[in-house]
């Protein structure tokens, strides 16, 4: 899979312990880095949140995305949202929030959390390129009502590097779903963010507690280091084939 002469296995410094991953069996999963969550006027703000709190995750996530692309790693982006007719949006989800600002209502970035609207799209800094998988999901978890499980199986993926927003909602839900399906999830702390710093912190602690009950917590520089250590010739001496 790699464009470089890569050692097949890398070791990522993480908590509660470092983790060895076979790069060929590892995917980068970027959860819901959409304008609706990251920018003013979208779903996140209609829920009463300060969306500027999510901005710090973008640069580290872009660095990992660049490295993953360079390796030829499977890259998966997800987007939370619904069909324009709301047929995949449960009433119990829609009816929450202020009546004038619900899912499907018009906002400055188009109808809130609706597929095809500007707000539903991924932010420019992390925009998918050709060949990358984009999963549209109606729920918080990326496995529910999507083809994600089948796609991971087709690619023989065993490990997920997980980035995105928000830490305690869609990232945590997806990690729990993935953990039950047998995937090793390594959540990159600085590539995730929450509207609530304390939920970010606790969301990560819940994952790595009890010997890594849901997975591992690491960060962007640990992944970049692990890649560099796996590919010393290609990265330090420009030895790409």
Please give the residue ranges that form the binding site for ligand TIU (CB under 6 A): 32, 37, 47, 80, 140, 165-166, 169-170, 195
Q: Toward ligand TIU, which CB reaches closer, 123 or 222?
A: 123
Q: Toward ligand TIU, which CB reaches closer, 54 or 62?
A: 54
Q: Toward ligand TIU, which CB reaches closer, 6 or 121?
A: 121
DSSP characters over 70-99: HHT-EEEEEEE-B-TT-TTS-HHHHTSS-G
* C-alpha span between 123 and 150 (Å, rounded): 26
Name the active-site residue from 163, 170, 191, 192: 170
Q: Toward ligand TIU, which CB reaches closer, 80 or 121?
A: 80
Shortest spacing between CB 109 and ligand TIU, in angstroms:
15
* C-alpha span between 16 and 215 (Å, rounded): 9
Tokens for 135?
């999963």
Note whether 218 and 189 are within 8 A (CB): yes
Question: What is the SS3 assignment for 103?
Answer: coil
Residue 3 among the catalytic residues = no
Shortest spacing between CB 168 and ligand TIU, in angstroms:
7
Residue 105 among the catalytic residues = no
Shortest spacing between CB 105 and ligand TIU, in angstroms:
15
Name the active-site residue from 25, 137, 140, 208: 137
Q: Toward ligand TIU, which CB reaches closer, 73 or 169?
A: 169
Name the active-site residue from 32, 36, 136, 190: 32
For the purposes of burial, counting CB atoms within 10 Å of the CB of 227, is it exposed (0-12), middle (13-18) or buried (19 or more)? buried
Shortest spacing between CB 223 and ligand TIU, in angstroms:
21
Residue 32 among the catalytic residues = yes
The partner residues of 76 in beta bridges, in order of sequence, read 29, 133
Shortest spacing between CB 87 and ligand TIU, in angstroms:
19
Residue 126: closest CA among 220, 18, 14, 13: 220
Tokens for 98?
């202020």
Catalytic residue numbers, as ranges = 32, 137, 170
């Amino acid at each position: 899979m790699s464009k470089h002469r890569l050692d097949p296995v890398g070791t990522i410094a993480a908590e509660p312990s470092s983790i060895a991953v076979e790069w060929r069996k590892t995917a980068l999963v970027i959860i819901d880095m959409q304008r609706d969550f990251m920018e003013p006027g979208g779903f996140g703000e209609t829920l009463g949140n300060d969306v500027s709190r999510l901005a710090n995750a973008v640069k580290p996530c872009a660095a990992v995305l660049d490295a993953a692309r360079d390796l030829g790693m499977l890259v998966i982006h997800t987007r939370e949202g619904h069909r324009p007719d709301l047929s995949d949006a449960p009433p119990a989800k829609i009816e929450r929030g202020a009546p004038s600002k619900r899912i499907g209502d018009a906002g400055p970035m188009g109808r809130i959390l609706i597929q095809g609207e500007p707000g539903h799209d991924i932010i420019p800094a992390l925009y998918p390129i050709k060949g990358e998988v984009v999963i549209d999901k109606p729920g918080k978890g990326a496995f529910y009502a999507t083809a994600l499980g089948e796609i991971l199986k087709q690619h023989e993926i065993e490990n997920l590097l997980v980035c995105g927003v928000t830490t305690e909602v869609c990232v945590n839900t997806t990690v729990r779903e993935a953990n039950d399906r047998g995937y090793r999830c390594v959540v990159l702390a600085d590539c995730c963010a929450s509207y609530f710093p304390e939920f970010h912190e606790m969301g990560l602690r819940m994952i790595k507690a009890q010997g890594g009950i849901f997975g591992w917590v690491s960060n962007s520089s640990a992944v970049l280091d692990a890649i560099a250590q796996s590919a010393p010739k290609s990265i330090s001496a420009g030895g790409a084939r």
